[in-house]
Each structure stands twice: as structure tokens, then as C-alpha cells.
């Protein structure tokens, strides 16, 4: 696994830059992934910076950030980038899961899963059975888009 620098900017732009850097480093095709948690009350922040917010503030601190807002809705966003290699423009595939930010529930073993409750469920990502979570997650939806791309590409050949 190669590490690329943490980039700044909008989610899609970060995903494109990350994918280009990885393709140049590998000198070949690659797929990269980036995850964001976007609060509607904050116009999409913290977005791609959620990892830093999570590490600095924890679940309680993130909830405190939203105390002054009536809107606790959020979007979990996963972006895959695919690049054929150096000099090629990356193609972006996004998956979204709508939900809301709640008091932390469930195991705190995976990032912000304990505070994200997807729409239509009473459990947080952390509380959901893995199969259920994987069937509705932002990551699985982005991966489905990536699979469709390769299936279509394969059908053309």
C-alpha cells in the first residue's frame, strides 16, 4: 500500500488529485478511495476533513459542534477514483448515504460510525449488522458505480 499526501480542497478535487498522484507513484493504473462526512447545517463541512475532526474532538466533540444547529442531517460520502496511469485523467465514482448525527451508540471501533444514523434505521452504522451496513453504505454504493464502469468497459471489448 502506498500513501499519498493528505490533500486540501473539495471532495471530488481531492479524489482526482489523490488518484493522479497514486498513478504517478505506481507508474500504472490505480484505484483510490476517499471518505467524507458532510453536515448539511455546515454546508458540507467537515466533509473530507472528518478524520481530523474525529481524531481531535471525538464523538462527543463532533456532537457539540452541532449543538447550536437545529439541523443534524448529514451525508456520508465515499469517492473512488480510477486512473489508467500517469498522464490520464481520473474518473470519479461517488456513493452517498443520507442520515443524521446522533449521540454515540455502539462500538467505537471504526471512525465516526457510532454517531451516524442512516435514514430509515434506528441504529447507527456502528450498531448495524455488517451485512446490513455494507448493503446501504456510501462505500458500497460508490463501489457499485465503479463495478458498473468496469462491466460496461468489458462489454465494449
Look up the pTM and report it: 0.89
pLDDT tens for each residue of 92-107: 999 999 999 999 999 9
Report whether 27 belongs to an annotated binding site. Answer: no
* Distances from the Cα of 94 to the Cα of 11, 63, 65, 72, 105, angstroms: 10, 26, 26, 22, 27
Report whether 6 belongs to an annotated binding site. Answer: yes
**Structural domains of the chain, ranges and CATH numbers in brackets:** 11-156 (3.90.950.10)
Give strand pairing partners of 75: 38, 98
Report whether 60 belongs to an annotated binding site. Answer: no
Report whether 11 belongs to an annotated binding site. Answer: no
Report whether 96 belongs to an annotated binding site. Answer: no
Cβ atoms 92, 16 nearer than 8 A: yes
Report whether 112 belongs to an annotated binding site. Answer: yes
Residue 130 has pLDDT above 70, yes or no: yes
Report whether 113 belongs to an annotated binding site. Answer: yes
Q: Provide the grid cell at 39.
A: 453536515
Residue 2 has pLDDT above 60, yes or no: no
CA–CA separation, 152 vs 157, rounded Å? Answer: 9
Report whether 59 belongs to an annotated binding site. Answer: no
Q: Which of 71, 102, 106, 78 is nearest to 92 (CA)?
A: 78
Report whether 148 belongs to an annotated binding site. Answer: no
Amino acid at each position: 500500500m502506498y500513501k499519498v499526501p493528505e490533500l486540501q480542497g473539495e471532495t471530488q478535487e481531492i479524489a482526482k488529485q489523490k488518484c493522479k498522484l497514486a498513478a504517478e507513484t505506481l507508474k500504472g493504473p490505480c484505484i483510490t478511495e476517499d471518505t467524507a462526512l458532510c453536515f448539511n447545517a455546515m454546508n458540507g463541512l467537515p466533509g473530507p476533513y472528518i478524520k481530523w475532526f474525529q481524531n481531535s474532538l471525538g464523538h462527543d466533540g463532533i456532537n457539540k459542534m452541532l449543538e447550536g444547529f437545529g439541523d443534524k442531517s448529514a451525508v456520508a460520502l465515499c469517492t473512488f477514483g480510477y486512473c489508467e496511469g500517469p498522464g490520464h485523467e481520473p474518473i470519479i465514482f461517488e456513493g452517498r448515504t443520507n442520515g443524521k448525527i446522533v449521540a454515540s451508540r455502539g462500538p467505537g471501533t471504526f471512525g465516526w460510525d457510532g454517531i451516524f444514523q442512516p435514514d430509515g434505521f434506528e441504529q447507527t452504522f456502528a450498531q448495524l449488522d455488517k451485512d446490513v451496513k455494507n448493503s446501504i453504505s456510501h462505500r458500497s454504493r460508490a463501489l457499485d458505480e465503479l463495478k458498473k464502469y468496469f462491466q460496461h468497459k468489458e462489454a465494449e471489448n
